[in-house]
Amino acid sequence: MAWIEQEPLAPRRIGSTGLVVNPIGLDGSVFGWVAGHEDTAAVLDGFHEAGGTLISTADHYAGGRSEIMIGHWVRERGLRESVVLATKVGRHPDADRYDRRTLTRAVEASLERLDTDHIDLLSLDGERPGTDLDELVITLEVLIASGKVGTVGAAGFPAPGVSALVDGGAPVSAVISEYSLMVRGGYENGLDAFAVERGTAGVARLPLANGYLTGDFRSKGTVPADGMFAEAAKHVGRTGNRVLDALGQIAGETGSTRAGVAIAWTLTRPGIAATVVRARSLAQLPPLLAASVVHLTPQHLALLDKLSR
């Protein structure tokens, strides 16, 4: 396929760790939900063939089926050393706390579903009030020392929460946050500065704002009755239309697509090491990965920055 013959993706490091990833990763949240076994395998095959390395999932996605499907694919293809497996724990109904017993059990369950002996990047999936920080730090250190976890991330934490983790001794190397031209507040409310100052990698989720930034949904009536796009409707309006118009203009100037420009924008932001994209079929994947070769000028960035605030 011609689309995998483009210029290689420039690798980026996850914080101060030895993990190096291509900057466009794959979000496994759709696997086992809106993508069945065959489509999941096809997307993962295409992603790997295009040079992709970072595969991100969570223990609660599709009730654990996402991890199972990813793990099956990795084992069947014999690619464990060629990919960076990232998963999140903390929101599965059977393991929703960060005490030693629960966290250890959650990691063991993810290892089993992923059919691997180690998770490259394990992220805590949101703050949990009442967590004993000392116990959490010791548990993470034990998991890392055992070789079951490579490094740790914090997903969905505000900047003060991440600071508390790090200042308490947690070995956090990445912050994962929803981040797009339509959803900027979470990451830009201190996480960006934290990532830059501490050398922690930022990982952007949902860079297309649940599909809105593809430009396919100009009115609420055009948003499909599909859980994958349900949140896109909230972006419909004057600001959204201005952003879509600017994306269309820049796409024409760069030979890209609205989606490609929107994804490329996230990769220019302070502290961002990678962005993870969702594809429910192989056909959806090429234009997303092509964002890695989109060159945005200072003028493009200034226009997008102005219109998306």
Which tens digit of pLDDT belongs to each residue from 8-54? Answer: 557 899 988 889 999 999 999 999 999 999 999 999 999 999 999 99
Q: Is the pTM of this model over 0.85?
A: yes
The domain segmentation of the chain, as residue ranges, is 2-237+259-296
Asked if pLDDT for residue 307 goes beyond 50, the answer is: yes
Which residue would you say has higher pLDDT here, 124 or 236? 124
Query: pLDDT of 201-253, one tens digit each?
Result: 999 999 999 999 998 877 766 666 666 777 888 888 899 999 999 999 999 99
CA–chain centroid gap for 162, Å, is 17
pLDDT-derived band at 2 (thresholds 50, 70, 90) equals very low
Q: Whose structure tokens read 């979470």?
A: 186
Q: CB burial class (10 A; 0-12, 13-18, 19+) of residue 94?
A: exposed
Q: What is the mean pLDDT of residues 69-97?
A: 97
Percent of the chain with pLDDT strictly greater than 70: 94
**Lowest mean pLDDT across 103-117, 171-185, 223-237:** 223-237
pLDDT-derived band at 297 (thresholds 50, 70, 90) equals very high
Put residue 215 in one of left, alpha, beta given phi > 0 → left and psi -120 to 50 → alpha.
left
Q: Output the pLDDT for position 9.
A: 55
Q: Whose structure tokens read 């706390």?
A: 97
pLDDT-derived band at 309 (thresholds 50, 70, 90) equals confident
Q: Output the pLDDT for position 223.
A: 64
Domain 2-237+259-296 adopts which CATH fold? TIM Barrel (3.20.20)
Containing 162, the helix (H) or strand (E) segment is: helix 159-167
Which residue would you say has higher pLDDT here, 262 or 17? 262
Q: Output the pLDDT for position 232.
A: 80
Q: Give the Cα separation of 140 and 137 in Å (integer).
A: 5
